[in-house]
Amino acid sequence: FNEVTTLFHEFGHALHGMLANSKYESLSGTSVFWDFVELPSQIFENWCYEKECLDLFAKHYETGEKIPEDLIERIKKASNYLQGYQTVRQISFGLLDMAYHSQDPSQIEDIFDFEKEVMKKTELLPSVPNTLMSTAFSHIFQGGYSSGYYSYKWAEVLDADAFELFQEKGVFDEETAKSFQKNILAAGGTEHPSILYKRFRGRDPQPDALMRRAGLVKKQ
């Protein structure tokens, strides 16, 4: 199943490039703000949980039988496994990253104390004595995510919120798909993401959809 979601994810990046319709390379396709680049890819992963989509290709290799409904339900349920912990953990990394990059480093005297203080807010399980996240946090010191680690979670906010529009209108609704193509995929970085997003969604992104998808709040 991971292979399927990965394929859909990467194909989203591919479509961002293939459907690009802008004059300048530097504003085209995936050349968007860092915290917007994973929307086109992550949103496509949502279709992997939709029967309508799975029925197109998820068939038994010998009998051609479509993937059974109860199996899809089990996949959906399993996707919420440890979501509470995962959510808090991702947020703690984002906060730690921001803490490092939003103050004068010469003022940080003790990495251990500094990290402990920042992580306190999100600490769920007792930390292992004499271990540190900071020294292993290659994403923000050598991986290009400096002051941008939050973008992982932010992209989830965007993709969950955007996908709810497809769920409302139909996962293969042509009008919604065309709007996503025009306002998000084709536009690239020609306008500010918040303007593009609003044009597609009709409003600013809201975190509620992600909370619902993660099973952290009840669906109405």
Minimal distance, residue 6 CB to Zn ion, in Å: 9
Q: Report the phi/psi class of residue 144: left, alpha or beta, with left for phi > 0 and alpha for psi in -120 to 50.
A: left
Query: Is the Cβ of residue 114 or residue 180 nearer to Zn ion in the bound state?
Result: 180
Helices first, then strands: H and E counts in the chain:
11, 0
Q: Report how far residue 42's alpha carbon sits from residue 149's, in angstroms, rounded to the nearest whole number.
A: 16
Query: Is the Cβ of residue 37 or residue 140 nearer to Zn ion in the bound state?
Result: 37
Respond yes or no: is residue 10 known to be catalytic: yes
CB atoms inside a 10 Å sphere around CB 122: 16
Judged by CB under 5 A, the chain residues 17 through 76 that form the site for Zn ion are 38, 41
Radius of gyration of the chain (CA): 20
Output phi, psi for 132, to 5 deg: -135, 140
Minimal distance, residue 143 CB to Zn ion, in Å: 14
Q: Report the phi/psi class of residue 127: left, alpha or beta, with left for phi > 0 and alpha for psi in -120 to 50.
A: beta
Q: Which residue of this chain has its Cβ atom nearest to Zn ion in the complex?
A: 41
Minimal distance, residue 177 CB to Zn ion, in Å: 20
List, as one string, the DSSP characters of 123-179.
Answer: --SPPPTT--SGGG-HHHHTSS-TTTTTHHHHHHHHHHHHHHHHHHH-TT-HHHHHH
Q: Report how far residue 194's alpha carbon sits from residue 159's, in angstroms, rounded to the nearest whole number.
A: 13
Total residues binding Zn ion (CB under 5 A)? 2
Query: Is the Cβ of residue 38 or residue 97 nearer to Zn ion in the bound state?
Result: 38
Query: Is the Cβ of residue 36 or residue 100 nearer to Zn ion in the bound state?
Result: 36
Q: Is 134 in the site for Zn ion (CB under 5 A)?
A: no
Structure tokens at 198: 């609003």
Among 3, 10, 109, 123, which one carries the catalytic annotation?
A: 10
Query: Is the Cβ of residue 44 or residue 200 nearer to Zn ion in the bound state?
Result: 44
Minimal distance, residue 40 CB to Zn ion, in Å: 9
Minimal distance, residue 5 CB to Zn ion, in Å: 11
Residues pairing with 66 in the sheet: 59
Active site residues: 10
The site for Zn ion (CB under 5 A) is made up of 38, 41
